[in-house]
Amino acid sequence: MTVFIGTSGWAYREWHGVFYPPGLPAEQQLAHYVTHFTAVEINGTAYRTPSGDMVRRWRDTMPRGFIAALKLPHSITHFHRLHDCRALLEDFAISAWQLGDHLGPLLAQLPASFAPDHVRLRDFLADARAAMGDPRWPLVIEFRHPGWFDERTAEILRRAHATWCVADMPVCPVAGLPSEGPVLYLRRHGTAGGYRGSYSDAALRADADLLCAWSARGADAFIFFNNTADGAAIDDARRLQDLVTSCLEQPGPAGDRPSGARA
């Protein structure tokens, strides 16, 4: 399957003159971004559900094969804390589906104060499935409380065709990779705190090996760099693209390249 590499969002003042040409209008930034990367994680949807017109403008800017992952609104994850939010999920799904073939995984980022409540997680995933109208659409949960990483959580996610996000937040180190799931989903928040700091060659090489291994298993693999505050995300994503391209070009045991793999 395919490896998708991008950043968490694209509209950052610090990127002008570094990634975007000086003076590039805001409405042209996405068009520039999609010529460099294969995916984007849209963080802005966490703060408000975008209008259908806005989502269709994004869709019309994206080339064939480009994927956008969407973060669920904080009204669902932080305020309702996954409880009794079926109507909110349905409203979000209506907007999300306007992306058409560009729609990728949905990410639910939970606050660090959200301790394990397995029944609530199970019910939320059932509601999300019903709202999306697709029992196998990839759903990803970023847990920020360490108590979530247990076998009961893993079993609930497996049954719901969902997975946990592999992130590198110091306050909540992920207790291992998911053994299976609809996708592999990595988030890289930076090495220096405050969403800053570049990754070493060794760290990026390890991520490249992991992404390629999942692709070879037949699963789509996503990674998004959220170290956006100092522009490091752009350079890290580009460096990783080169490593993944090199990895995928090497023949496997049968001399075959994973089907559909690209960076």
Residue with tokens 């009204």: 75
What gap in Å lies between CA 58 and CA 45, rounded to an integer? 13
End-to-end, the C-alpha distance of the chain in Å comes to: 11
Task: Encode the chain (263 residues) as per-residue pLDDT tens digits.
Answer: 899 999 999 999 999 999 999 999 999 999 999 999 999 999 999 999 999 999 999 999 999 999 999 999 999 999 999 999 999 999 999 999 999 999 999 999 999 999 999 999 999 999 999 999 998 899 999 999 989 988 999 999 999 999 999 998 776 666 567 767 889 999 999 999 889 999 999 999 999 999 999 999 999 999 999 999 888 999 999 999 999 999 887 654 333 333 333 44
Number of C-beta neighbours around residue 128 at 10 A? 24
Q: In total, how many domains does the chain have? A: 1
Its domain, for residue 63, covers 3-249
Give the residue from 248, 238, 261, 246 showing the smallest Cα distance to 36: 238
Domain for residue 255, yes or no?
A: no
Domain for residue 159, yes or no?
A: yes
- Whole-model pTM? 0.92
CATH number at residue 73: 3.20.20.410
What gap in Å lies between CA 2 and CA 74, rounded to an integer? 29
What gap in Å lies between CA 121 and CA 173, rounded to an integer? 20
Domain for residue 257, yes or no?
A: no
Domain for residue 260, yes or no?
A: no
Domain for residue 258, yes or no?
A: no
Token pair belonging to 123: 């019910």
What gap in Å lies between CA 106 and CA 163, rounded to an integer? 11
- Report, in this order, helix, strand and coil percent for the chain, each rounded to 5: 40, 20, 40
Domain for residue 18, yes or no?
A: yes
Domain for residue 263, yes or no?
A: no
Domain for residue 259, yes or no?
A: no
